[in-house]
Structure 1
Amino acid sequence: MTAMTTVAGGVRTEPPRRIGPRRTLRHSLTLAWRKVAQMRHSPDKLLDSTLLPVVFLLLFLYVFGGAVAGDTHAYLQQLLPGLVAQMTMFAMLGLGVALNEDIKKGVFDRFRSLPISRSAPLTGAVLGETVRFCITMVMLVVTGTLLGFRFGNDPLSVLAAFGLAYVFYLAVCWISVLVGLVAPSPESVQGTAFIFVMPLTFGSSVLIADTSTMPGWLQAWAKVNPVTHLADALRALMLGGPVGNSVWYTLAWAAGIVVVTCPLAIGMYARRV
């Protein structure tokens, strides 16, 4: 906030004190905890993160399992890592809706009156969504294990797989933030985000590891699709086999998304609220 001091009977405005990276991080973590507290008091908001991964896993496994791999068990091994990539995208949808609702309610007007970093409300909202991501991943792994899925690589590689998915998740959350700031209503956030997410998730190697059966134009799209690189990297890390450049492509995409969308979101936030 701007400091005010009285000088010679008048009022002089002093420039605000600069907020360094350490204070920015502290402010962001505090607001992230606010997000977690909201989820604790309203657990119904986590129903999509709890039920959607289970529904997708059961639906895709028993509808496509026999046709794609010959039997459901063989398909489960390639499907679950792909669904981790898919749910990484779907898990971020609620962020933009919640952000838009907070703006409508005037919550962010209150944040602007506080002596906190300008980026802290947005960064805190992104970090707070970690709970949603973790719940989604736990539901996928537990359900998949009960159905017969088994990891084929060492524990460190498996942890690296979920770490890679989390890094990509944090990156695409900034897309959801940007949509939440631009969209006129919470309802339009959901529709706009689905239009963006659906081609990325279903036009990729999420459901089938071998994309050579796709039409030529769809193969070309799948090859440059960042979700394809994420799904391929997750399969290699979880099941074993050559990783190739999929991990580096995924990290490059994550970095590029943050570099582009994060400044745009912060600038839009400064103009919107």
Structure 2
Amino acid sequence: MNHAGIPSAATMRLKNRPSFYQTIRNSLTMAYRGLLKIRHTPEQLFDVTLQPILFTLMFTYIFGGAISGDVHSYLPVIIPGILVQTVIGTSIVTGVQLREDMDKGVFDRFKSLPIARIAPLAGALLADTVRYAIATVLTFIMGYLMGFRAEGGLGSVAIAGLLVIVCSWGVSWIFAFFGVLARSASSVQGISMIILFPLTFLSNAFVPVDTMPDWLQWFVNINPISHLVSAVRELTGAGTFGQDVAISLAGAAIIVAVFAPLTVRAYMRKA
């Protein structure tokens, strides 16, 4: 408050700042908006519905005989790999759609609404977890139809799916950061693919690590995608929680700890 008794701008901002409960409620409302967009434009789900089916069929029948001797023996190897590749790849959409909304002025219109400024960003990240869940379920269903049976049991399959969804949500903060900073949606997609493409293919997702050159094996062994694939294989194959599960969760936590503040700070400057 100044000498004339009129509240300062900083005081007014603090007074009008929404409570934690209001922020959560606004974020859930924005997440519901994201789900409504999917319902009105269902073609947004083509990547999470068609990709698991096509990739599972192609990779299994192309590489199955060469790598494991037959298709059935290859399924426990390829299903976790396809699952991780598909769901992690879907997280790119978070940054692309965020940039598209910002380019269209959607977030500018949100500024005039009495909602938490962070709600549109948080809502977009929450809504995309539904996409991850759809891709996860379809991948396991496709694997089951082809003969994949998880020895670890249904509970371990559910935990493995949840692990992949949580890790993908963590990775989505990286692409959300690109979405806030990039100049166009196409540049977000291009940058994201340059990062994600080598990580997914230079991993143990599709072929055994010991078949690779020695100079490449060291990278594959430290690749976080390899640890996540191994964690899913352990859970679905034996129902065990090995160190790869802990490494995957720790990696996701580190990504969120680093990129969430950077993304929020960059977003708040523009929101």
**Is the pair's TM-score, using the shorter chain for normalization, greater than 0.5?**
yes
Q: What is aligned with 1:23?
A: 22
Structural mapping, 1:32-47, within 5 Å: 32-47=31-46
- Distance in structure 2 (CA, Å) of the matches to 1:69 and 1:126: 38
Most deviating of 43-52 and 136-145? 136-145
| Alpha-carbon distance in 1 for matches of 2:258, 2:190 | 22
Cα offset, 1:68, TM superposition:
0.6
The residue that corresponds to 2:215 in the other structure is 217
1:168 counterpart letter in structure 2 = C
Deviation at 1:241, TM superposition (A): 6.2
User: Which residue is 2:224 aligned to?
Assistant: 226
Letter in 1 for 2:211: T
Map of 2:252 onto structure 1: 254
Q: Alpha-carbon deviations, 1:95-145, whole Å to 9, x = none?
A: 111111100111111222333333221111011012211221122122111
DSSP 3-state at the match of 1:129: helix
SS in 1 for 2:231: helix
SS in structure 2 opposite 1:207?
coil
Is 1:130 aligned to residue 148 of structure 2? no
Q: Distance in 2 between matches of 1:11 and 1:218?
A: 63
Instruction: Give the root-mean-square deviation of aligned CA atoms.
Output: 1.8
Aligned pairs for 1:159-198 within 5 A: 159-198=158-197
**Do the aligned residues in 1 keep the contact of 2:153 with 2:239 (CA within 8 Å)?**
no
- TM-score, reference length from structure 1: 0.92
The runs of 5 or more residues in structure 2 that have no matched partner are none
Q: 1:20: how far off?
A: 3.3
Relative distance call for 1:271 and 1:70 in structure 2 (3 A) is same
Give the fraction of aligned pairs with identical amino acids, expressed as a percent: 43
Kindly report which structure 2 residues correspond to 1:93-172, keeping only aligned pairs within 5 A, or say none.
93-172=92-171
What CA distance in whole angstroms lies between the structure 2 residues aligned with 1:184 and 1:219?
A: 36
Is residue 222 of structure 2 the alignment partner of residue 238 of structure 1? Answer: no
Residue identity in the other structure for 1:253: G
Q: Provide the rounded CA distance (Å) in 2 between the counterparts of 1:71 and 1:58.
A: 14
TM-score (norm 2): 0.92
Alpha-carbon contact 2:64-2:70 (below 8 Å) kept:
yes
**Cα offset, 1:205, TM superposition:** 1.1
Once residues 239 and 264 of structure 2 are traced to their aligned partners in structure 1, the CA distance between those partners, rounded to angstroms, is 40
98-107 or 133-142: bigger deviation: 133-142
Contact 2:118–2:268 under 8 Å retained in 1: no
* SS of residue in 2 equivalent to 1:15: helix
**Structure 1, gaps ≥5 residues long:** none
Structure (1/2) with the larger helix percentage:
2
For 1:59 and 1:244, the matched residues in 2 are separated by 30
**Matched AA of 1:245:** Q
Q: Could you tell me whether the CA contact under 8 Å between 2:52 and 2:139 is conserved in 1?
A: yes
Q: Quick one: which amino acid aligns to residue 12 of structure 2?
A: P
Deviation at 1:272, TM superposition (A): 3.2
- Residues 241 and 132 of structure 1: CA distance in aligned 2, closer, same or farther (over 3 Å): closer
Following TM superposition, the consecutive aligned residue runs of length 4 or more in structure 1 with deviations greater than 6 angstroms are none
CA distance in 1, matches of 2:159, 2:239: 14
Q: How many residues align?
A: 266
Tell me which moved more, 87-96 or 39-48.
Answer: 87-96
